[in-house]
Amino acid sequence: MFSDTHFHFQHFTENPEIDGAAVLSAMAERGCVFGLDIGTHSDDLLSREACVDNAIAQIKNTFLADKARAFTYFSAGIWPAPEEIQTRIKSLEILQNQITQAETSTDSDTLHRKIIAIGECGLDHHWNPSGVDGRCESDFDQKMLDGEKELFEMQLDLARKMNLPVIIHSRDAFEDTYRCIKNVGYNNGIIHCYSYGLEKAKKFLALGWYISFSGSVTYTKKSKIEQMKELISYIPDDRLLCETDSPYLAPVPFRGQTNTPLLIENTYNFIAEIRSITAQKLSSLVDCNIRKLFNLTV
């Protein structure tokens, strides 16, 4: 029933708190039609595909295993980690090589399917040394900030050359994100895990981007709930997506717990109520947008 445009199988298989096979099986049983495993490192594509293959191999029900295999897709991209920024030319070469290997492999023991998007890639200026990303402002002098923008623009250009949509990560970096997009002039994809306000959303929408909401919208502060409602209500039907961002950003009432795509319905219910439609209707809208954005026939 519920599609999910962003989840990481690598976390499923490597995180002892998550049973990847059980999650995939349950998604198949619920009738999920789309799941996108998104890349964050230049060299993670082949290992992520292998992780998915291993998880599906553990599903004993062959019907559900086949369904899980059918709804799973992959993107490949480089999140703006300092080490990737510093070696950005080499990192992009590695990314392109991984994509080539994935699409030309004849290894029947591993899932190799056409990459349907580039990303996630973008800019992150949220400084939280104690957070999962361990980002320190002191790590980002002007040279590093310029390199971060260059790495982002390189991936936007790669997506244009491959005629693929882009999954953009942008946190506390709207102006630079917008400027990079304008510099490259390629407008095709998702502003994922959207974290800005309405006026900034209008600027992305005017360029042709989709806006994707995660479970974080369900725990908006009371002082900002009206602005969030206005934002969620404003996004046009044909530009709206919902996502998990597993294993992070679990929606209420599971905030703080490990997130999986099985919790996505809570995000759908929250957004659907604000938009005065049913969760089923919202899911249908998202499915339609997914098919159009990723050029799918499912």
Asked if residue 8 belongs to a known ligand binding site, the reply is yes
Q: Determine the average pLDDT of the residues in 207-222.
A: 97
Please, which residues bridge with residue 207 across strands?
none
Q: How far apart are the first and last CA of the chain?
A: 13
Task: Output the pLDDT for position 137.
Answer: 81
- Domains observed in the chain: 4-191+246-264 (3.20.20.140)
Tell me, what's the pLDDT at 190? 98
* Rounded average pLDDT over 95-102: 95
For residue 7, what is the enclosing H or E element?
strand 4-7
pLDDT digits (tens, 9 = 90+) for 151-202: 999 999 999 999 999 999 999 999 999 999 999 999 999 999 999 999 999 9
Mean pLDDT of 30-37: 93
- The residue ranking higher by pLDDT, 34 or 111, is 34
User: In whole numbers, what is the pLDDT of the chain averaged over residues?
Assistant: 92
Burial 228-267 (b: 16+ CB within 10 A, else e): beebbeebeeebbbbbbbbbebbbbebeeeebbbbbbbbb
Report pLDDT for 7.
76
Tens of pLDDT, residue by residue over 40-95, are 999 999 999 988 999 999 999 999 999 999 999 999 999 999 999 999 999 999 99
Question: Is 11 part of any known ligand binding site?
Answer: no
Rounded Cα–Cα distance for residues 227 and 243 (Å): 20
Residue at 68: amino acid letter: A
Q: For the whole model, what pTM was predicted? A: 0.94
Task: Evaluate whether 174 touches 149 at the Cβ level (below 8 Å).
Answer: no
Would you say 245 is a known binding-site residue? Answer: yes
112 annotated ligand binder: no
